[in-house]
Amino acid sequence: MRFLARALLVAAGLLVVGAAVPVLRAQGPKLDAVLTPLVDSSALRAGSTVRLAMRVVLAPELHVQSNTPRDPGFIPTVLTVDAPAGITVEELVYPVATDLTQEGLDEPLAVYGHDFVVGVRVTVAPDVALGTTVISARVRYQACNNTVCFRPITAAQPWIVEVVPAGAAVTPQHADIFKTIAFGTGITPPVRPAADPIARDPNAAAVAGGSEAEALDGFTVQLTTGGYQGAEDFLIFISNAEAGVTPSGLFDNRGPLAILLIVLVGGLALNLTPCVLPMIPINLAIIGAGARAGSRQRGFLLGATYGAAMAVVYGVLGLVVILTAGTFGTINASPWFNVGIAVLFVVLGLAMFDVLLIDFSKWSTAFQPDAKKQGSVALAFSMGAVAALLAGACVAPVVIQVVLFASDLYAGGNQFALALPFVLGLGMAIPWPLAGAGMATLPKPGLWMVRVKQAFGVLILATAVYYGYLAYTLFENRWVDATEVSSSVDEMLASGWHSSLATGLAEARRDGKPVLLDLWATWCKNCLTMDRTTLRDPSVVAALDGYVKIKVHAEDPDEPSTKALMQRLEAVGLPAYAILR
């Protein structure tokens, strides 16, 4: 029982390490703000002036930039109020910013703390419609802690108020909040915020509230691409979409078979490492296979059972981790996530060079099988499962890497990725039935085994470099002035692009035209680069001449409606482009 408890403990440890994908995300602070709309009276009287307030509360360790940051590179906090007919927004009163000194900056930042209130003064027309009224509002902010600024987020929360006749009695409320707001010193709200072009089209609301993905019903997604692309590559993308051609690549056509074969061979090669090869004859003797089996058939059965147990354990372990890491594709667009994965792979790579030690096999000595049970299938299966769980220093880093790699592929829509951990275990299992039947001669241990182990280490470190470079490019993509991106989008809208998904798709249905969707955000540098280069190239403009072109504002990829749309398009990051028919 004590050994079983240790084995379960180690299995849980492997799951924790392998599930680093969702855990890395959970380690960050909660970025979603709690918005509380407040009114200074129990109802709005027709023909009066009323004070509103929006309270914003974040995690205690966070702050946001003020509405007028000192550094134009930072994203300001903006409250946008869309009042219905008969109600006019006269004034926005932001709180007084506090100075925050941050290492590496020449001057302090002007920020709001984790709990702040923005005041709003509105006038109610004498002839306004009476009854329940909704005043829509949204707050756009970028949360930061003392070292890191996170992705910008737009949160929406309306005021739902009752409008009553001018002479009706109302009750004052929230006096303690409103007395802290310096009404009369605020700013006049802009008619439409320049940083939010999507709001300019009143039909944009037709797809709000989580139905963007549903708006695509009736259309076929011909092809999706993403990231920066030169004019030549983008023209190929358009051509392939129009021809119905899906480009062949590593994950297409024969790609999955090639990946499965590589992982199978990798699992087979793990048997040649110094942690595994010398132990094969010993473990065969323990389970009663090899020379002790009595017959080749019996030895083959015991060896096959031992190997099958390893494949089953790795397969189940992989399924648990992959299926619980369902947000891998979304958070893979986070630079900090990729930094974490790069660091993890550096640790795993160093372990293959014995700089660090990741070895669970030392606990396997606690298991001493009863000599009477040697030669039983049950013993062979249990020993194989234990060997898989208590992976040696040469095996554990590779298993973790394959599980993370499979999670990444599965998040990209590659269902075959679910089989990769099982195939790795299958590769490790191949020699066991042959050795158990005495039908194969094992290689002689030697220094060459260390070289095999180090070759795996080089592969893992190369993976770390890949994720590190990906993190760098994602950071670089976010070093951008949000107003430049918004201005560029405004120019595209002025040239005939749509900002409303509903309006653009309606036009495409009516005129029978193909559609180009362009998903963008104000923090996306490559969105700006594409707007200013590729999408203005004369050959690209000519190729898209017959298209309905739609700019889709995807500021927060984790917002439910945006996330559903990106999943429908199989888009991982921004910018993302999709052609529909």
Count Cβ atoms within 10 A of the Cβ of residue 6 and give its class: 0-12 exposed, 13-18 middle, 19 or more buried: middle
Residue appearing with tokens 């200013």: 532
Residue with tokens 């006096």: 175
Angstrom distance (rounded) from CA 394 to CA 253: 32
Q: Can you give the pLDDT at residue 13? A: 39
DSSP at 243: H
Tell me how many degrees the CA angle 428-431-432 measures, rounded to the nearest 5.
Answer: 90
CA angle 64, 66, 69 (to 5 degrees): 110
Cβ neighbours of residue 368 closer than 8 Å, sequence gap 6 or more: none
- Distance separating alpha carbons of residues 333 and 499, to the nearest angstrom: 24
Tokens for 405, please give them: 């790699």
Output the pLDDT for position 471.
74
List the pLDDT tens digit at each of the 581 positions of the chain.
Answer: 333 333 333 333 333 334 333 333 334 467 789 999 999 999 999 999 999 999 999 988 899 989 998 876 678 899 999 889 999 999 999 999 999 886 556 778 899 999 999 999 999 999 999 999 999 899 988 888 776 667 778 888 899 999 999 989 999 999 999 999 999 999 998 754 333 444 434 334 334 444 566 778 889 999 999 888 899 999 999 999 999 887 654 444 456 778 888 888 888 887 776 556 666 666 666 665 554 555 777 778 887 888 888 888 888 877 887 776 544 444 455 667 678 778 877 887 787 787 776 554 454 444 455 544 455 777 778 877 777 766 544 566 677 778 777 876 776 667 788 888 889 888 888 887 887 776 555 566 667 667 777 777 787 788 788 778 777 766 665 566 777 888 889 899 999 999 888 889 999 999 999 999 999 988 787 888 899 999 999 999 999 999 999 999 988 777 778 888 888 888 867 889 999 99
Place of tokens 């695509």: 216
In 3D, which of 95, 6, 15 has the Cα closest to residue 55?
95
State whether residue 71 is helix, strand or coil: coil
The DSSP result for 430-461, as a single string, is THHHHHHTT-SPPPPPSHHHHHHHHHHHHHHH
pLDDT given at position 40: 95
Output the pLDDT for position 234.
94
Is the omega angle on the peptide bond into residue 575 within 30 degrees of 0, that is, cis? yes
Structure tokens, 88: 């006019």
Supply the pTM of this predicted model. 0.44
For residue 2, which amino acid is it? R
Predicted pLDDT of residue 23: 35
Give the Cα separation of 509 and 255 in Å (integer): 36
Nearest Cα to Cα of residue 508 among 546, 453, 473: 546
**Counting Cβ atoms within 10 Å, is residue 468 exposed (0-12), middle (13-18) or buried (19+)?**
middle
pLDDT of residue 330: 45
Say how far apart CA 411 and CA 570 lie, in whole Å.
9
CA distance 416 to 437: 32
Integer Cα distance of 503 and 215 in angstroms: 10
d(CA 153, CA 144): 12
Length of the chain: 581
Q: Using only the alpha carbons of the chain, give its radius of gyration.
A: 30
- Tell the residue number behind the tokens 């709003």, with chain if given: 120
Judge contact between 515 and 505, C-beta under 8 A. Answer: yes
Structure tokens at 503: 């309006």
Name 279's Cβ contacts closer than 8 Å, sequence gap at least 6.
none
| pLDDT for res 287 | 64
Decide: 561 and 213 in contact? Cβ < 8 Å: yes
